[in-house]
């Protein structure tokens, strides 16, 4: 049985992705509402509700195979203020680094480390923040690489995220390390960020080999409920107003959906854009490509994702339901959600897509750990 710590754990979506072959020795988050969701789905026994800065290596039991950290993205995202790792929220990465350093001094460094965040980390502070994160892990003795993976490979949600993964040096690296990035799990921004790395960090870099996942066969429409729980259908006036916010290009998308016949489901976000005069105006931007937009926390009206159900000339609208959002994160329907819709939206919008974690575990983490497991069995024999 492989073991892990889950920092910034939220509702335990990394745990859901790792699966039953992994044992959590400690999970941590500062948010009491998320802690309740974690306890409802997993256990309160291994959960520590506190700021990560309050943890010390002595609080972390045993020696784990993996330390996972989905550290806060607020200072790195497009919606943030650009403070990067100097910001109060995203700067929590340094507390994670400090814990790893303490474990290293005690001879308990995790074999693997995974740090997940938005792809804005690649360009934050001109790439200096990405270099700082990878450099921090390299300084702790890890070979480091990164993958830019969009959850749309696994679930009908466009959700690109960056996964920085460090591994201790040993013979198992040969099985999953390559000389070049894999096309489906990289981006131009990642390649550019890698090219800017200081020589010392670049010398510790690994391009992880990760097989392309099978073709996704689910579309947004397959996850939508006819009778949603926690949200109500908008009235006709509210739907007409939403459609009135569309630009000409988005109205053409709507007309194409209406002309397609049958039932077509699209996703809509409200955005603030500048019109031809330079004035800031609110726009409703729709997509009918079978994908939802990236789920976000409900910080304001523009963060709430709406669906359009188009049946010929009839168009209905409503927010995505909490259960639909959970499905878009790859969670099963037996995952227990908060009773309040906003609490569920906050939990899910802050999470990591579970199927992405499973793919990483199956094709990267477990092969990296497998060599040690084989060696342990041989020694026991």
pLDDT in tens, 132-177: 999 999 999 999 999 999 999 999 999 999 999 999 987 678 889 8
- Give the residue from 183, 68, 187, 184 showing the smallest Cα distance to 120: 187
**What number of residues does the chain have?**
381
Going 105 to 170 to 173 to 18, the CA torsion angle's sign is: negative
Tell me 292's DSSP state.
Answer: B
The residue behind tokens 């397959």 is 222
Half-sphere exposure of 90 (CA within 13 A, CB side): 24
pTM of the predicted model, to two decimals?
0.93
Domain spanning 2-213+348-380, CATH class: alpha beta
Q: Are 89 and 31 in contact (CB under 8 A)?
A: no
Taking only the tens place, the pLDDT of each residue in 298-313 is 875 556 899 999 999 9
The DSSP H or E segment spanning 135 is helix 128-139
The residue behind tokens 């740090």 is 115
**What's the pLDDT at 86?**
64
Q: Are 338 and 37 in contact (CB under 8 A)?
A: yes
* C-alpha 69, offset from chain centre: 11
Q: Are 256 and 287 in contact (CB under 8 A)?
A: no
What are the sequence ranges of the domains in the chain? 2-213+348-380, 232-319
What are the angstrom distances between the C-alpha of 9 and each of 105, 240, 335, 337? 25, 40, 15, 15
**What's the pLDDT at 87?**
62
Please state, rounded to an integer, the average pLDDT across all residues of the chain: 91
Exposure string for 60-75, b = 16+ CB within 10 A, e = fewer? beeebbbbbbbbbbbb
CB neighbourhood size of 225 (10 A): 13
The residue behind tokens 């074999």 is 111
* Segments of 77-235 assigned E as strands: 112-117, 142-150, 160-168, 177-178, 207-208
What is the bridge-based pairing of β-strands 112-117 and 263-274?
A: unpaired
If you average pLDDT over residues 267-296, what whole number do you get?
91
Tell whether the model's pLDDT for residue 183 goes beyond 60: yes
- Give the residue from 23, 133, 150, 36 showing the smallest Cα distance to 75: 133
Q: Are 253 and 286 in contact (CB under 8 A)?
A: yes
Tell whether the model's pLDDT for residue 79 goes beyond 70: no
Q: Are 32 and 23 in contact (CB under 8 A)?
A: no
């Amino acid at each position: 049985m492989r073991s892990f710590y889950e920092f910034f754990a939220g509702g335990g979506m990394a745990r859901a992705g790792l699966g039953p072959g992994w044992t959590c020795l400690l999970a941590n988050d500062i948010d009491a509402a998320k802690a309740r969701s974690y306890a409802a789905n997993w256990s309160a026994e291994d959960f520590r509700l506190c700021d990560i800065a309050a943890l010390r290596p002595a609080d972390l039991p045993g020696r784990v195979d993996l330390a996972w950290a989905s550290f806060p993205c607020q200072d790195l995202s497009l919606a943030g203020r650009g403070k990067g790792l100097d910001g109060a929220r995203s700067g929590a990465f340094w507390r994670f680094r400090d814990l790893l350093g303490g474990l290293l001094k005690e001879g308990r460094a995790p074999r693997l480390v995974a740090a997940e965040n938005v792809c804005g980390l690649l360009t934050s502070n001109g790439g200096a923040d990405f270099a700082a994160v990878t450099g921090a892990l390299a300084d702790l003795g890890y070979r480091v690489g990164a993958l830019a993976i969009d959850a749309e490979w696994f679930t009908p949600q466009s959700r690109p995220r960056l996964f920085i993964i460090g591994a201790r040096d040993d013979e198992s690296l040969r099985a999953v390390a390559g000389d070049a990035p894999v096309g489906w799990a990289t981006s131009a921004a990642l390649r550019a960020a890698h090219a800017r790395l200081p020589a010392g960090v670049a010398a510790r870099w690994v391009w992880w080999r990760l097989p392309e996942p099978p073709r996704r066969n689910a579309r947004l429409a397959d996850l939508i409920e006819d009778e949603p729980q926690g949200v109500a259908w908008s009235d006709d006036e509210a739907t007409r107003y939403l459609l009135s916010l569309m630009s000409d290009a988005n109205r053409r998308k709507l007309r194409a959906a209406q002309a397609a016949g049958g039932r077509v489901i699209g996703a809509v976000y409200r955005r603030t854009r500048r019109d031809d005069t330079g004035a800031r105006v609110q726009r409703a931007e729709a997509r009918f490509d079978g994908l939802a937009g990236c789920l976000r926390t409900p910080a304001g009206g523009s963060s709430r994702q709406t669906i359009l159900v188009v049946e010929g000339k009839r168009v209905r609208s409503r927010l995505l339901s909490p259960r639909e959002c959970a499905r878009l994160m790859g969670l099963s329907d037996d995952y227990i959600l908060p009773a309040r819709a906003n609490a569920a939206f906050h939990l899910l919008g802050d999470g990591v897509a579970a199927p992405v974690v499973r793919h990483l575990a199956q094709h990267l983490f477990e092969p990296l750990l497998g060599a040690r497991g084989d060696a342990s069995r041989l020694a026991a024999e």
